[in-house]
Structure 1
Amino acid sequence: MTSVVMIGATGAVGGHCARAVSGRGQLTSLGRRVATGIDAAQHVVDLADPPSYAAHLAGQSVAICCLGVGEPSKVTRDEFRRIDHDIPLGFATAARAAGVGHFLLLSSVGANAASPSFFLRTKGQLEDGLRALAFDRLSLFHPSMILTPENRYGLSQALTLAIWPRLTPLLRGPLRRFRGIAVDRLGQAIAATALGTGRGEEVLEWPQIVARADQFGVTSTT
């Protein structure tokens, strides 16, 4: 079985990914609290201190990062960068030092280190940092709107969840990459990629995410 270590299993996407991986692979979850509903070796650690959890990275072949701020507008820029850049890059650096060959990141459509958007620029800078680590395989997931069954963040998300599915059929051609993706399907796509084979860098946007989720072979709940 493929040995997978991940951070972010307590989040919406990470939870679906962890459940999908744990059903078909050997999963180790690291975080500040225990995730529910997954079959995994779980360790409560300080994610900002990679040496404190380095022992749990030994022998792993795949590392997944689904960690991220749910509502970036609710935190300072410094806190956002710490959670969405510094901690993931520290995790990736420690994983590479431990011999992990494949790293998967839940990022965002439009991520670019030269973007005028602080959010997208931070994501892009993280991706550049991961490239510098020279993993044998690097899988970067670039979803647009992530559609959840429930409203987690108030009025703005409620409006988005109501409107975005209706916009999806209108987003064609180059705009397909902005289509919404159900949270469980995204988790399944990440899991399918983690448990599959390949080499080099791949950037997965909406068409590739849907195709990879189809490989996992289950039906969306959203």
Structure 2
Amino acid sequence: MKKTALILGATGLTGSLVLKQLLKDERYATIKLFSRTKIDGLPNRVKQFIGDLLELEHFKKDFTADEVYCCIGTTAKKTPDKTQYKKIDFGIPVTAAKLAKANGISTFLVVSALGANANSSIFYTKIKGEMEAAVLSEKIEKTHILQPSIIGGDRQENRIGENIGLAVIKCIQPLFFGKLKKYSITEADAIAQTMIVLANSNSTKTIITSNEITNIKNN
């Protein structure tokens, strides 16, 4: 039986690549997108639900699928207000997990970040860690949390500072080996592929770090 996938964040870098790959995957009959803006030119098997994701609970009736791909995330530059930042990076994934649990969705995949730690003194890694703990507390049967390092890929918006950072890391990452290898750039395409591989596997691994993302994608 063909499946239904649900994507949060399909207008972003990683989410758009998940969508692109699922559109080519014959295992999926329906793809649901929940976002603030509509994506034009998609086939009829893509169902779009447009609204404020900070009020995701309003979508409960339509929040049904076999798998949830949560690719939501912001940056300090885009969202400097920490209260709003937490509403996005913590609130949306956790609400999605609650809806998935309530509606009997057994597979939940979410993009977090390397170094996520609920006990961290660093605000941004602390939020990711708290998000992970809250998602896991829902006890969804098959939960996969991906922890990429800095994410590489072609973004629609121009992030000058981030582009410089990526360029620097690309120059020095041949020096990353052993325990340092996990700090290499994680390509968004690899994250998307790994999410789909995990969703269609028997893997029970919950936390997938950056170097593991590349390994799973290549197997």
TM more than 0.5: yes
Q: Distance in 2 between matches of 1:150 and 1:42?
A: 22
Residue from 172, 175, 198 that aligns with 1:193? 198
Q: Which residue of 1 aligns with 2:101?
A: 96
Change (3 A) 1:92 1:182: same
Q: How far apart are 1:46 and its partner, in Å?
A: 2.5
Q: Hey, what does 1:220 align to over in structure 2?
A: none
The 1:86–1:114 alpha-carbon spacing in structure 2 relative to 1, beyond 3 Å, is same
Equivalent residue for 1:51?
A: 57
Correspondence for 1:173:
178
- For residues 182 and 170 of structure 1, the distance between their equivalents in structure 2, rounded to whole angstroms, comes to 18
Match of 1:148 among 145, 150, 153: 153
The answer to which of 177-186 and 43-52 deviates more is: 43-52
1:135 is displaced (CA, Å) by 0.8
CA distance in 2, matches of 1:156, 1:48: 27
Q: What one-letter code is carried by the residue in structure 2 that aligns with 1:67?
A: I
Whether contact under 8 Å (1:62, 1:100) holds in the other structure is yes
| Counterpart mapping for 1:111-122 below 5 A | 111-122=116-127
Structure 1 residue 13 corresponds to structure 2 residue 14 = yes
Give the deviation of 1:165 after TM superposition: 1.4
TM-score norm. by structure 1 comes to 0.88
Q: Which residue number in structure 1 is paired with residue 214 of structure 2?
A: 210
Q: Report the Cα offset of residue 37 of structure 1.
A: 6.0
Number of aligned residue pairs: 212
Contact 1:84 1:122 in 2 (8 A): yes
Q: Is the 8 A contact 2:5 2:68 kept in 1?
A: yes
Is 2:41 the counterpart of 1:41?
no
Q: CA deviation at 1:199?
A: 5.4
Contact 1:18 1:38 in 2 (8 A): no
Report sequence identity in percent.
22
SS of the equivalent of 2:100 reads helix
Question: Offset of 1:181 from its aligned partner?
Answer: 1.7
Displacement, 1:45? Answer: 2.5
Structure 1 runs of 4+ off > 4 angstroms?
Answer: 36-39
Unmatched 5+ residue regions in structure 1? Answer: 216-222
Cα displacement (A) at 1:153: 4.3
1:38/1:174 CA distance change after superposition, 3 Å: farther
Match of 1:109 in 2: 114
